[in-house]
Amino acid sequence: MTAHRFDLTSTLEEPKDAPAPSRWLSEKGVIFLASLAVLGAGIAAWAALRPSTNNENFPGGTWWVCSNKTCANEFALSMKQLGEHHEKHYGQPVTCPKCGKEAIRAEKCVECGKVFPLRRDNPACPDCGHKIGQ
């Protein structure tokens, strides 16, 4: 075997025509980040401009209370969900998702948060007396 000798005193020099290393992102990195920014802006615009599942008259959807006193489930349906129900079950009432019994159209008080069956003769919250629609 022959022994190899290394000269540790010499230094490697880069060729004079070699480009200097860049401290900034490479061109591919910049293109990638710009693509991500455009994609993020597109998603944000879609989220802001997509049609709502509710409308101006019912921005929070519609409230319902189960007619079964032992269940007494309170739930909300968006206008889209209510429309889909009427398309699938034309002429049939909305049913409780918990027990399957008929549901009664309700209102939610903006003052105390109580959900109660909607009545034409007394549009006020039975708990706090707040007039609905005011």
pLDDT tens-digit readout, 73-92: 999 888 888 888 888 988 89
Burial label for 37, CB within 10 Å (0-12, 13-18, 19+), is: exposed
* pTM: predicted TM-score of the whole model, two decimal places: 0.53
In tens, the pLDDT along 27-65 reads 777 888 888 899 888 887 766 666 555 555 565 678 899
Number of Cβ atoms within 10 Å of the Cβ of 133: 8
15-29, 56-70, 110-124: the lowest-pLDDT one = 15-29
pLDDT of residue 99: 92
Helix (H) or strand (E) holding 104: strand 103-108
